[in-house]
Amino acid sequence: MTNLKLKVLGAAVGAALSFNAMAETTMRVATWLPPTHPQNSVAMPAFAKAVEEATEGRVKVVIENFQGHPKTIYSSVEDGIIDASWSVNAYTPGRFSLTGVAEIPGETTNAETASVALWKVQQEFFADANEYEGLELLGMWVHAPGVMHTKFPVNSLDDLKGKKIRLGGGMVNDLAARLEVTPVGGSAPSSYEKLQQGVVDGTFLPIGEHKFFKLSEVANHLTVFPTALYTTVFSFVANPEFMEDLDPKDAAAIRAAMGENLSRTQGKIWQDMDAIGMTHAQEVGTNIHMVDVYEKLAVDMKNTMKGLDKTWIESVADRGVDAEAALAAFRSYQ
């Protein structure tokens, strides 16, 4: 082969390699829970796989640990510091009032069905309110029903009065006020430290966290009600400019793969965590109180929750949506 042919071949190979390098895009996704938590060990790899399969490998997902408080994630995505991530809506109070429809105490029993219901209601009733302005919403979900992880037994609502409880914000705060507990703000992962140091007497979280946040080491009582004490809404968002800069067919492919699909998958993963957490609680000897629906404690809690749906409706009166219709739809989709 002549030197000229070698040069031509070399240039062609170099151009091909250069083109392939340019064709691949990296999506930097931040996460903030411990590495062993299913959100990181199961959900994030599933998200990465879905993106890469949808784009036939042209968009690669790189998972990065977020160093700040999860309440700053949304602004970090808006500012382009990271391309995409997920966080808790209640950590930025006042911005995502509408999604509180899925946080109303007593409304849900399953994270998967509630997550799909929330996504549908968001699209049908809330999208025009632009609560996600500056972000592109790719999916949303709730965790499994919130329960009580405490250092003390809960046999009546009176047992809760005056107790210090770690809460993450949202509508659970309205319930806490009615229960006359002393709310202590903090992210979910801070529960272990707060319980260990005696800052709080308990925390409200799904059952799964009894294992994944190691709460069984610092709270030996688990009180589980027939319906959720509360749920927390998570949103997976992307930087709009990042999405716009993608090849249009890749951006469209990602959007098609996300939405209800992502919401359902994430909700199921969080619901599945409950069974793991319950098995763990049984194995380590946690005192588990499965509150029967006819038990006085359950009846009293149900009565305490009455009217919180109207509290949510009133709280979003300025958002320009039909809140009553949205709530009815959310209930019907579960």
Summarised one tens digit per residue, pLDDT across range 18-51 is 334 445 799 999 999 999 999 999 999 999 999 9
DSSP code at position 285: T
Contacts of 242 (CB under 8 A, 6+ apart): 27, 80, 83, 84
Which of 241, 234, 251 has the alpha carbon at shortest distance from 79? 241
pLDDT of residue 173: 95
The overall longest dimension of the chain from CA atoms, in Å, is 92
**How many domains does one find in the chain?**
1
Share of the chain above pLDDT 70, in %: 93
Decide if 291 contacts 168 (C-beta within 8 A): no
Evaluate if residue 11 carries a pLDDT over 70.
Answer: no
Q: Where is average pLDDT lowest: 21-30, 43-52, 119-128, 244-253?
A: 21-30
Distance separating alpha carbons of residues 198 and 189, to the nearest angstrom: 15
Average pLDDT over residues 257-264: 98
Decide if 258 contacts 122 (C-beta within 8 A): no
Distance separating alpha carbons of residues 103 and 321, to the nearest angstrom: 17
Q: Domain range for residue 199?
A: 146-230+274-333
pTM of the model: 0.91
Q: What is the pLDDT of residues 279-298, one digit of tens each?
A: 999 999 999 999 999 999 99
Evaluate if residue 302 carries a pLDDT over 50.
Answer: yes
Cα 180 versus chain centre, distance:
26
Residue 129 is assigned to a structural domain of this protein = no
Could you tell me the two tokens for 35? 């590495």
Contacts of 43 (CB under 8 A, 6+ apart): 265, 266, 269
Evaluate if residue 13 carries a pLDDT over 90.
Answer: no
Strand partners, 166: 184, 203
Residue 208 is assigned to a structural domain of this protein = yes
Distance separating alpha carbons of residues 47 and 59, to the nearest angstrom: 12
Evaluate if residue 156 carries a pLDDT over 90.
Answer: yes
User: Residue 330 — very low, low, confident or very high, per pLDDT cuts 50/70/90?
Assistant: very high
Decide if 30 contacts 82 (C-beta within 8 A): yes
pLDDT of residue 23: 52
Average pLDDT over residues 214-233: 97
Cα 325 versus chain centre, distance:
24
Evaluate if residue 268 carries a pLDDT over 60.
Answer: yes
Q: How many CB atoms lie within 10 A of CB 60?
A: 14
DSSP code at position 220: -
Dihedral angle at the C-alpha atoms of 256, 258, 260, 264, nearest 10 degrees? 140
Start-to-end C-alpha separation, the chain:
69
Residue 309 is assigned to a structural domain of this protein = yes
pLDDT of residue 67: 87
Distance separating alpha carbons of residues 292 and 305, to the nearest angstrom: 17
Amino acid residing at 78:
E
Evaluate if residue 181 carries a pLDDT over 60.
Answer: yes
Residue 94 is assigned to a structural domain of this protein = no
Residue 110 is assigned to a structural domain of this protein = no
236's torsion region: left (phi>0), alpha (psi -120 to 50) or beta?
Answer: beta
Share of the chain above pLDDT 90, in %: 92
Evaluate if residue 8 carries a pLDDT over 90.
Answer: no
The interaxial angle of helices 172-179 and 308-315, nearest 10 deg, is 130
User: Residue 12 — very low, low, confident or very high, per pLDDT cuts 50/70/90?
Assistant: very low
Query: Which CATH number goes with the domain that contains 174?
Result: 3.40.190.170
Could you tell me the two tokens for 115? 């997550």
User: Residue 233 — very low, low, confident or very high, per pLDDT cuts 50/70/90?
Assistant: very high
Residue 186 is assigned to a structural domain of this protein = yes
- The mean of the pLDDT values for the chain is 93
Residue 235 is assigned to a structural domain of this protein = no
pLDDT of residue 272: 98
Residue 205 is assigned to a structural domain of this protein = yes
